[in-house]
Structure 1
Amino acid sequence: MKLKDQFRFIRQNMKKNKMRVFMTILASAMSVAFLIVLASVAFGLHDTVIKDTIESPEVTQIEVAGKDAGNGNAESLTNQNITEIEALEGVNAVTRAKQVKQETRYVTDGYEIYSQTFQSHFPSMKNAGIELKEGSFPETKDEVAVGYHFALNLMKDDVDPEEVEYGEDGQLLPEYRFTGDIIGQTFDLEFKRMEDGEEITETVPVTVTGVLEQPGREWYWDQNVYITDEKLAELEGITGTSKAMLTDPGEAEEDTGYDTATVYADDLEAVKSVMTSLEDQGYYVYSIVSEMGQINTLFNIAKAGLIFIGTIAILIASIGIFNTMTMAVTERAPDIGIMKAIGASPKVIKRIFLLESTYIGLIGAIIGIAVSYIISIGVNLALPMILETVFEEELPAGLQFSSIPFTLVLIAVVICLGVTMLSGLRPAKRATEIDVLKAMRREV
């Protein structure tokens, strides 16, 4: 009996019991769709997280907190350390900064703001590709750059802070803050020095020449002021302490190292090798790429769990296939007897029923895949609107709730076909055991 004849025989018999076969295919399709849609949530959210991480400007950045001093303590980075890091293969630039070790106040024309002040190396910032929202980087001693949120929090100095009102975005309302052009604005930088145990307020002028771009992370608030090396030296000369520390000059400890340093790798692929090199040399490092491995592990566990739950649905649907094939063997006993009488081998008979169960599972899988794609599209379109309406909060742009990669489809098809073949195995084996004479007399 040729394979073509076997398929014709299968289709003819399936047409005789259309309703039963239809319900069996429907159960298979629903179980496959359930598996794919359920697992697609983990795939979709995983793709969104990875996409956001890869597209983030911080993905090629490596934070260097210091270097192992050999006794378990970290020491600040020196210019020699920076030179060593810059010489590593895959490093594009190294930005570094020293923080003024006291709170500083900036005052101009009836407005004030308390801010942290950092001495920054502006040439390395340019090499790293750091851009300004407006203006230019400082070039002389009295020029400074400010963070994106500096002007947004520059408040009138005659307003009681407890009476100030903020908008939904957490920023000062226009009537309480500076609304002019911050570029070119001159401020009095107020800081303090210690003399005989007393705090004395000092002021030096600075002029804003540039505003940094908004930080890539929405939760990060940058209202810092970035000054030049020469300006920091001036502050240190006035206070008599390293990094303008607020303490008596005779009691201050010398600290000339950098408080922060950020390594900018050439590209994403270079990040891991640069991190390995830094760790081998005893540097304490952190990169957002370090978290990607943990994120992948968590999502892979979630995917496996959801696929397992979906497989249970397919196993339940396999009961229907088993019942359908068992009934088919009973109803076709005379046909089986005839096939045996004309010389059909048990192997051929077994193959016919296995092909039929697989055929039913394949049709169900194809329908289930089509339905799952339709549901996935509907989820990605409708669910964000529903959540935004219910919670009255805008969801992040590009958020994807459901994604169906080819690997998920392949996994679902393999599981479905495997389960349906196993479901038809017992009825197929029973068909080969039917006695010809009993089958002809319809005694099966």
Structure 2
Amino acid sequence: MKLSDQFRFVRQNMKKNRTRVYMTILATAMGCAFLIVLASVGFGLQKSVVKEMTERRIMTQIDVYGQETTESGGYRQLDDKDVQEFEEMSDVKAVTRRKMLQQEGFYSIGNYQQSTQTVVANFPSEIKAGFELSEGSLGKDKAEVVVGYNFPLNLVEKGEQKEEMFDEQGQLKEEFRYNGKLIGETIELTVSKMEDGKKIEKVFPLEVVGISKKPTKEWAEDRSVYISEELLKEIEEFTGTPKGVVLDSANQLNLADLEASKNTFDDVKVYAKNMEAVQGIVDELKENDYATYSVVNELKEVNLMFAIAKAGLIFIGTIAILIASIGIYNTMTMAVTERAPDIGIMKAIGANPRTIKRIFLLESSYIGLIGAFIGTVVSYGISYAVNFVIPIIIKQAFGEETTPEIVFSDIPLSLPIICIVICYGVTILSGLRPAQRATKVDVLRAMRREV
């Protein structure tokens, strides 16, 4: 019997018992849909978490916090020697190093003011790492500064700040912002120190020569002011402390420790040439006892956790398909009983037992694959409905709005493939026993319908 004839024979037999076959296909489809939708929750949450992590961090960025010391077991801050060592490592694109003014910088221009972070940055390395300006240029003189993109957006009029001046996100409303030009204008930095229990202030006039590029992420803000190393030295001369630390009676810091930190950096980041090089750089840094953090390492841990969760969900979903396989087994067993005369005729005219077995396995495969296809289509519809309805339910029930980035259900191509493979394997196993039974049917008894 040709293979095409076998397929035609299977389709004819399935049509004879449509109701039973349709119900079996429906049970299989429900099992497959359950497996896919259940596992899609794991895929969806993983996608949301990974997206959140990758958007908030640069994938090639490695934060280096310090180097472990053998004497105390603690970590020392990084200096120029460490930065030079990082720059000489293979596959390193740039090494940024920043010092922070250890008191909040108070800036004013005309009748506007704001307090923000003051940073001493190495701009050649910052530019290599991707730092850009939206307008203006980099400072060349010690009195020239670059401000963050959000700095002018947060300049507020002097005096009491009222609640109506800010929107729901805590941002200063446009009508209360500084609306003049900033490039070429003079802003004043007020630095303070404590002397004999009294607060003494000094004003440093600075010229704004550049504004950084707008952050690519809506949630990100850059309100920092970038000053020169020379200006930091002047501030240190005024305060008498490294990095402008304010000392008072309640702040008893070890002056020796402060002096030791004078030429160290507060923030050091290593940028790899590509994402593939990150792990190698991290491993080399760890070998040299440097404390590091990379989003790539965190992603591995997150992906491992979700891989275990997804495997568990797929296992639970497979149970539903196994339950549906009982219906397939029952359908095929009934098919063997009802088609005993047909089996007897085929054996009487010399049909090979393998051919008879293949016919029944084809039929069980038909049921399984059709059910898997229908279940896959239905699961995509359910997934769409879940992502649409759940945020509405959360808002109505708890009064909380979910962010658009959260995906409750996601069905990658691999998931339906996994489901189809599982379903096909289960249906073959379900139809195997009835198919073997069909090959053992006695011809004479079959003709008498006494199977």
Confirm or deny a common fold (TM above 0.5).
Answer: yes
- For 1:403 and 1:84, locate their aligned partners in 2 and report how far apart those are by CA, in whole Å: 44
- For 2:135 and 2:309, locate their aligned partners in 1 and report how far apart those are by CA, in whole Å: 44
How far is 1:215 from its partner? 4.2
How far is 1:44 from its partner? 4.1
How far is 1:311 from its partner? 1.4
How far is 1:234 from its partner? 0.9
Match of 2:212 in 1: 212
Structure 1 residues 285, 218: CA separation in 2 closer, same or farther (over 3 Å shift)? Answer: farther
Match of 2:290 in 1: 283
How far is 1:260 from its partner? 1.0
Match of 1:118 in 2: 119
Aligned mate of 1:395, from 403, 422, 442: 403
Higher mean Cα deviation, 417-426 or 126-135? Answer: 126-135
Q: Is the contact made by 2:87 and 2:95 (CA closer than 8 Å) also made in structure 1?
A: yes
Higher mean Cα deviation, 41-50 or 383-392? Answer: 383-392
Structure 1 residues 250, 8: CA separation in 2 closer, same or farther (over 3 Å shift)? Answer: closer
How far is 1:108 from its partner? 2.2
Aligned mate of 2:340, from 333, 337, 348: 333
Q: Is the contact made by 1:58 and 1:216 (CA closer than 8 Å) also made in structure 2?
A: no
DSSP-derived class of the 1:139 partner = coil
Cα deviation digits, residues 170-217 of structure 1 (max 9, x gap) = 112234442333333322211112434533111111122223334456
- For 1:168 and 1:234, locate their aligned partners in 2 and report how far apart those are by CA, in whole Å: 40
Superposed CA RMSD in Å reads 2.9
Match of 2:323 in 1: 316
Higher mean Cα deviation, 237-246 or 31-40? Answer: 31-40
Consecutive unaligned residues of structure 2, counting only runs of 5 or more, are none
Cα deviation digits, residues 10-37 of structure 1 (max 9, x gap) = 2221121122222222322332233233
Match of 2:231 in 1: 231
- How many residues are aligned here? 441
Match of 2:374 in 1: 367
Match of 2:277 in 1: 270
Query: Given the two structures, how large is their TM-score scaled by the length of structure 1?
Result: 0.88
Matching residue's letter, 1:418: G
Match of 1:173 in 2: 173
Cα deviation digits, residues 225-255 of structure 1 (max 9, x gap) = 2211111011112222211222389956302
How far is 1:259 from its partner? 1.0
Match of 1:65 in 2: 65
Structure 1 residues 394, 206: CA separation in 2 closer, same or farther (over 3 Å shift)? Answer: farther
- For 2:352 and 2:91, locate their aligned partners in 1 and report how far apart those are by CA, in whole Å: 68
DSSP-derived class of the 1:355 partner = helix
- For 2:327 and 2:311, locate their aligned partners in 1 and report how far apart those are by CA, in whole Å: 25
Query: Given the two structures, how large is their TM-score scaled by the length of structure 2?
Result: 0.87
* Superposition map of 1:16-35 within 5 A: 16-35=16-35
Cα deviation digits, residues 251-284 of structure 1 (max 9, x gap) = 5630221111111211211211121222222221
How far is 1:113 from its partner? 1.4
* Superposition map of 1:178-197 within 5 A: 178-197=178-197
DSSP-derived class of the 1:98 partner = strand
- For 1:163 and 1:402, locate their aligned partners in 2 and report how far apart those are by CA, in whole Å: 39
Structure 1 residues 290, 215: CA separation in 2 closer, same or farther (over 3 Å shift)? Answer: farther
* Superposition map of 1:412-427 within 5 A: 412-427=419-434
Matching residue's letter, 1:43: F
How far is 1:49 from its partner? 4.5
Q: Is the contact made by 1:164 and 1:176 (CA closer than 8 Å) also made in structure 2?
A: no
Matching residue's letter, 1:406: L
- For 2:206 and 2:367, locate their aligned partners in 1 and report how far apart those are by CA, in whole Å: 79
Structure 1 residues 110, 72: CA separation in 2 closer, same or farther (over 3 Å shift)? Answer: same
